[in-house]
Amino acid sequence: MSKFKEVGVFPASSPLSPNLKLEIEEFLHSQGVSVRYLSDPYENYGSTSFLFSARSAEDRLNSLKIEFQNSSSALLLAARGGSGAMEILEGLSSLPTPAAMKILCGFSDFTCLLPTLAKTPNVIALHGPTTLSFRNEVSLENKLASLQHLSSLLEGNTKLIEANEIEHLSGPIGEVEGELLGGNLSTFCSLLGTPFDPDSKGKILFFEEVGEAPHKVYRNLLHLKLAGKLSSARAILLGRFLNCEHPKQLGPNIRAIFSVIFDQSPIPVYLTDVFGHGDSTRTFPILYPARLSAQGLCLMNRLANPF
């Protein structure tokens, strides 16, 4: 059973299929979690009224404004990833400071909002599951794993990755400390050159990806390298790169790309399979101090629990 009793669903990006509503709610209800919606993530499924998004940018920002004015602490899950979250980036600065602690959690397209949200007073930004993570297509074991890790984090668990879940790729093997920053690789790259491009200096950068061809993954990592993002970081953690292979297994694979990009890295680079698209995903608090080594990843302090 989850330690929190309710989640609010925020349609930051693309719409959800109405066919998923009942199965997502039934799973969360089975874990003692009720579901409410900041605005409807289902009604515009299949529509192009808002291009790739579930609702207009104005509607999404207004739903956050109303939520931020609510005097109760809340855990808010992004409905899903997809596309469209970047449309509301500029508007986040116009929102009022939340009247109580708001925890916003999501990944994939939601990556672009996390650094800005993490710097907002009374907001905790988490790279973690969306409501789509709890659909029937995902095994019960993996749904429970995602929910339980999120719950344990809010209960004060500081261990994010165990020693047997991490592999050293390159660079020095030693303990490093820094704030956590990252998410979906291509989405993170889309922030470069914008006012919302987060400072990677001294950070533990973590990345995952889904459905991108190897040459595109290489291009994005090279982009970050040329922009100085990788060399200024304290360490790099690479998660799942799901379905990022050539369909006919031609050309360099992802591991070969990592070996080239991070060859003779001056900072530690590690691999893990515990976060990203597919299966379950661990939850990482953005811009929160952590410690990374061959012994795993852990927070340096317990996360504040408003519940």
Residue range(s) of every CATH 3.40.50.10740 domain in the chain:
6-154
Q: Which CATH class is domain 159-299?
A: alpha beta
> Which pLDDT belongs to residue 268?
98
Query: pLDDT tens digits, the chain, 307 residues: what are they?
Result: 556 899 999 999 999 999 999 999 999 999 999 999 999 999 999 999 999 999 999 999 999 999 999 999 999 999 999 999 999 999 999 999 999 999 999 999 999 999 999 999 999 999 999 999 999 999 999 999 999 999 999 999 999 999 999 999 999 998 999 999 999 999 999 999 999 999 999 999 999 999 999 999 999 999 999 999 999 999 999 999 999 998 888 889 999 999 999 999 999 999 999 999 998 999 999 999 999 999 999 999 999 877 7
> Which pLDDT belongs to residue 3?
67
> Which pLDDT belongs to residue 249?
84
CB 262 within 8 A of CB 169: yes
Close Cβ partners of 231 (under 8 Å, ≥ 6 residues apart): 225, 266, 267
> Which pLDDT belongs to residue 304?
81
**Residue among 158, 205, 202 nearest 180 (CA):** 205
> Which pLDDT belongs to residue 2?
58
SS3 (DSSP) at 169: strand
The CA angle 159-283-239, to the nearest 5 degrees, is: 90
Q: Which amino acid is at 92?
A: L
> Which pLDDT belongs to residue 4?
81
Q: For residue 253, which phi and psi values (nearest 5 degrees)?
A: -95, 180
Judge: domain 6-154, CATH 3.40.50.11540: no
CA–CA gap between residue 155 and residue 185 (Å, rounded):
29
> Which pLDDT belongs to residue 252?
92
Residue range(s) of every CATH 3.50.30.60 domain in the chain:
159-299
> Which pLDDT belongs to residue 251?
84
Burial pattern 260-278, b for ≥16 Cβ within 10 A else e, equals ebbeebebbbbbbebbbbe
> Which pLDDT belongs to residue 58?
98
> Which pLDDT belongs to residue 248?
83
